[in-house]
Chain A
Amino acid sequence: AQSVAQPEDQVNVAEGNPLTVKCTYSVSGNPYLFWYVQYPNRGLQFLLKYITGDNLVKGSYGFEAEFNKSQTSFHLKKPSALVSDSALYFCAVRATRTGANNLFFGTGTRLTVIP
C-alpha cells in the first residue's frame, strides 16, 4: 500500500519569506514522489518530481523539494514567497503495485502568501 500525508491544511507566510509545505509518504520499495499546484479555476499543474538521484529536486516557478528517506518526507520549499504562489498544493506518490499507473494524492495544503 502507499499513501501520502500533508499534515497542514493551511500555511500562511509573509511575502519574501521562505516557505515550506510538508509531505510525508508511506510506500513499499522506492518512492516516486510529485508535487502539483492547483490555482483557482485551473487544472492541477506539475511542479516537480523525485524518481531517483539527488535528494534536492528543483522544479517550476522557483520551487524545490527535499527528499529525506530516513524521515520519509518530501517537503516543498521556496526561498522567497510571492503573493502569486498562493494556491492549493498537493503531494502525490506513484502506486507501487507492479504495472500500476496511477498517483495517490494527499489532501492538499492551502498556501496563502500575505503581502
Chain B
Amino acid sequence: DTGVSQNPRHKITKRGQNVTFRCDPISEHNRLYWYRQTLGQGPEFLTYFQNEAQLEKSRLLSDRFSAERPKGSFSTLEIQRTEQGDSAMYLCASSFGGLEKLFFGSGTQLSVL
C-alpha cells in the first residue's frame, strides 16, 4: 500500500510533555496538510505545505504547535507542553497540485492525561 502513512497510530502522554507525529505522504504529492479531528466533529485545518514551504497556518495552531516538512518529503507535527485540550485525532493528507482530491492517512490518536 503506497498511501499516506502516519506514525504512531496512538500516543498517550502526560500533560506538559512534548510529542511528535510523523506523516509520510504519497511520494509524488507536493502538497501536505495537517488536520485535527475531535469526537463528533469534522476535521479542522491546521496547516499546509507546498513542497518544503509552510504556506498557511490556522489560528488553531498555537505557539506550542510546530510543523516541518524538510526536503518536501515527510512531515512532522510537534506539540510542546501538551494540554488536555490537545487530545484529538491528528490527520495528515496529501495531494498533487491542489485541493481537488486529498488522500488522508489513518491518523494519530493523541490522549493527554
Contact = CB atoms under 8 A, between A and B. Distances in A.
Contacts, number: 62
Grouping DSSP codes into helix (H, G, I), strand (E, B) and loop, the B interface class, with mixed when no group exceeds half, is loop
B91 A43 contact: yes
B4 A92 contact: no
A103 B45 contact: yes
Interface size class of A (residues with CB under 8 A): 20 to 34
Contact of A49 (B43, B44, B101, B106): B101
B74 interface: no
A27 to B, nearest CB: 14
Nearest to A101: B48
Nearest to A6: B42
A46 B26 CA distance: 15
The 9 closest A-B pairs by CB, nearest first: A105-B42, A43-B104, A102-B45, A44-B104, A43-B106, A46-B101, A105-B43, A43-B105, A101-B48
Contacts of B41: 107-108
Given A101-B31, A101-B56, A92 B105 contact: no
B44 A94 contact: no
A90 interface: yes
Contact of B45 (A42, A43, A49, A104): A104
Nearest to A108: B42
